[in-house]
Amino acid sequence: MLNLKNKSIIQVLFIVNYVRDLAIRTKQFDIEKVLVPLITTPSFNTNLPDDFNPQAPRVIFQQNHMSIHFSQLAAQFTIDIDHTNDMSLEIIQEKIAKEINWFQNCVNKIVPHKQQRERGLVLTMSYPIDSALFSDEIIFDYIQSHFFKIHPFGKPAGAQFNVGYRTEDNFFITLTVAQYQIIAGKMPNLPVDQWIDMTTLPIKESGIELKIDVNSRPLLNTATQPLDITEVLLKKAFDFAIYKSDKFMGI
C-alpha cells in the first residue's frame, strides 16, 4: 500500500529552549538584524505583557516556506518543504541542515550559549496513498496491524501509534504514526457566526504520516552535552528518516 517513490519530508521544526528572557520582545530589531542571512521580511511584535504566558510568541517572522517565533522561553524555526522541484531526500537534507545551522548561529547572537537549554528537532514524513484504492478504514487497519498486537474489536475507525525512547547517549527519540489528509483548495472566509463541516471538504491527498522527534533534554545538567548538539540532532533525525524509516513503517 505504501509507495516508497512518493514518500517525502514535508516539514521540519527546530526549537532552541533557553532560560526565561523577560526582555526578549525588546530585542525585536536585534533579532531582525541577525536573521538577515536567513529571512528578510520585517518581524511582528505581539506586544504581550511581560507577565503573560512565557510560551506565547513575542516576535514573529513569516517568509515563504519559513516561520520563526521567539518567546520568552524558546526560539522556534519551522520549514515547510517545497516539493515542486522534485528534490531527493539527500538534497533536502543538505538544504535543511544549512538553514537550521544558520538559525542556530543567529540564536547564539541573541541568547548566550550558557543560557541555552535543550534543543529539539521534528521531521515530518509523508507516505501518500491512492485514496481511490485505499479508504480511511484500510489506512487505520494498516496502522493497527503493523503497530499493535491487540485483536481488533471491529473495523478500525481511527488509529495512531506513539512511542518514545531514551537512547544510550542520552537523547529522547519519539516516533508517531498517524493518518494525514490535505484539503483541496483554500478555506473560505466565513462570517463569525457561520461554520463549515470539515468532513464535507474535498481531500487533495491522504496517507500515513511519520513524525521523528529528537531532543536533548536528558543531557541537561550533565557534562556530556556536546557543543555541536544541533549537528548531532540533525544526524540522528536524518539517519532514521533515510535509513530506518521504511523498515519501521513496515515496508
Distance between CA atoms of 77 and 70, rounded to whole angstroms?
Answer: 9
Distance between CA atoms of 242 and 225, rounded to whole angstroms?
Answer: 25
| Residue 35 pLDDT exceeds 70 | yes
Distance between CA atoms of 230 and 216, rounded to whole angstroms?
Answer: 9
pLDDT of residue 5: 74
Place of cell 517565533: 69
| Residue 186 pLDDT exceeds 80 | no
84-94 pLDDT per residue, tens:
677 788 888 99
pLDDT of residue 198: 66
202-229 pLDDT per residue, tens:
777 888 999 999 999 999 877 666 778 9
Phi, psi of 181 (to 5 degrees): -140, 140
Distance between CA atoms of 125 and 117, rounded to whole angstroms?
Answer: 27
pLDDT of residue 181: 83
pLDDT of residue 185: 63
| pTM of the model as a whole | 0.89
Task: State the chain's mean pLDDT as an integer.
Answer: 89
The conformation of residue 151, written as its DSSP 8-state character, comes to P
Q: Mean per-residue pLDDT for 156-172?
A: 92
Kindly list the domain boundaries of the chain, sorted by start residue. 4-20+73-248
100-117 pLDDT per residue, tens:
999 999 999 999 988 999
Long-range contacts of the stretch 107-111 (C-beta < 8 A, 24+): 107/16, 107/75, 109/30, 109/34, 110/27, 110/30, 110/31, 110/34, 110/70, 110/75, 111/16, 111/18, 111/21, 111/75
Cell of 210: 511519520
| Residue 45 pLDDT exceeds 90 | yes
pLDDT of residue 98: 94
High-pLDDT (> 90) share of the chain, % = 62
